[in-house]
Amino acid sequence: MYCVPVTSPDAIDWDELRARARAATRRAYAPYSHVRVGAAGLSEHGTIVEGSNVENASLGLTLCAECSLASDLARQGGGRLVAVAVVAGDGEPIAPCGRCRQVLYEFGGAELWLDAGEGAAPRRLGELLPHAFGPGDVESRRDA
C-alpha cells in the first residue's frame, strides 16, 4: 500500500502492474483492429485501477484502454495516478496514443511514471507529453 505520492520508480511494483495490464487485455473488446490493449495504474491511495480498449463499429468512437482506466479511477474513488503500465495482447508495453497521454496527464501530470518494459527505465509522462496543457491552464486562462 502506498499512501503518499511515490517519487522513485523503484518503489513501484511494476511486475504487478504489468500482470494486471496483461489480464486486462483479456477483457478488451477489439473485434475491428484485433489489437487488445490493457492498462493498469497505481493511485496515490494504493488502489490498482484497470482498463481495456472498447472498440465501436463507428471506428472513431473507440475507447482506448487508458480512457477505460480513467473511468475506473473515478469509479474507485479517484485520486492521483502515480504509475501506469499499458500493454498489448502480446504482453509487451505499447506507447500510449497522443489522446491518452492527455487523458493520463489530467490525473497524473508530468510526474506520472510510465512503464517502458522489463529491464527498461520507466519514463515520466512529462517526457512523452512535454509542455502539456492541463487543468492549471484552464484555471489561469479563463476570462476574468
Residue from 41, 93, 96, 109 binding ligand THU (CB under 6 A): 96
In 89-144, which ranges are E strands?
Answer: 113-114, 123-124
Q: Total residues contacting ligand THU (rule CB under 6 A)?
A: 13
115 binding ligand THU? (CB under 6 A): no
Residues in the chain: 144
Q: How is 5-45 classified by DSSP, letter by letter? A: ----GGGS-HHHHHHHHHHHHTT-B-TTT---EEEEEEETT
Q: Which residue has the cell 508530468?
A: 110
Active site annotation includes 66: yes
Residue from 17, 41, 50, 53 binding ligand THU (CB under 6 A): 53
Of 62, 67, 20, the residue nearest 42 (C-alpha): 20
Are the CB atoms for 114 and 4 separated by under 8 Å? Answer: no
- Taking the least distance from each CB to ligand THU, the nearer of 45 and 102 is 102
Residue from 5, 7, 26, 33 binding ligand THU (CB under 6 A): 33
Q: How is 38-52 classified by DSSP, letter by letter? A: EEEEEETTS-EEEEE
108 binding ligand THU? (CB under 6 A): no
110 binding ligand THU? (CB under 6 A): no
Of the candidate spans 8-16, 17-25, 30-38, 134-142, the one that interacts with ligand THU by CB under 6 A turns out to be 30-38
102 binding ligand THU? (CB under 6 A): no
Question: Of 16, 44, 55, 66, which one is the catalytic site residue?
Answer: 66
Are the CB atoms for 9 and 20 separated by under 8 Å? Answer: no
Q: Which residues bind ligand THU (CB under 6 A)?
A: 30, 33, 35, 37, 53, 55, 62, 64-66, 96-97, 100
- Which active-site residues does the annotation give? 66
